[in-house]
Amino acid sequence: MEGGRAFSRAEILAAIQEIVRPILGRPDIVLSEGMAARDVPEWDSLAHVTIMVRVEEKFAIRLRAAEIVRLSGVGALIDLVERRTAGI
């Protein structure tokens, strides 16, 4: 759990990728900011909320119910993590 410091977008993306791989069962998946959940067949609702919980644990943040469901893609998730770790 890493909290209390700002992260670069590259660091956030790399951390999310490490979280996503075992949850989706895709050890070779490479995420990009333009990727959306609908682009990955294994990324269903259960995987989505599991990923969000692991992201919360990783960055010591808390995501709201409405935010979790409305995240449109990896880029939006990085934006959200950036804001939360910056205290916004």
* Chain contacts with other proteins (rule: CB under 8 A): 23, 25, 42, 44-50, 52-53, 56-57, 64-69
Contacts of 82 (CB under 8 A, 6+ apart): 6, 7, 9, 12
Q: Which is nearer to other proteins, 52 or 77 (CB)?
A: 52
Q: Which is nearer to other proteins, 18 or 42 (CB)?
A: 42
- CA-closest candidate to residue 49, choices 70, 78, 79: 70
**Cβ at position 54, least distance to other proteins in Å:** 8
Structure-derived torsion over alpha carbons of residues 44, 80, 55, 4, reported in degrees to the nearest 10: 180
Q: Which is nearer to other proteins, 10 or 86 (CB)?
A: 86
**Cβ at position 8, least distance to other proteins in Å:** 26
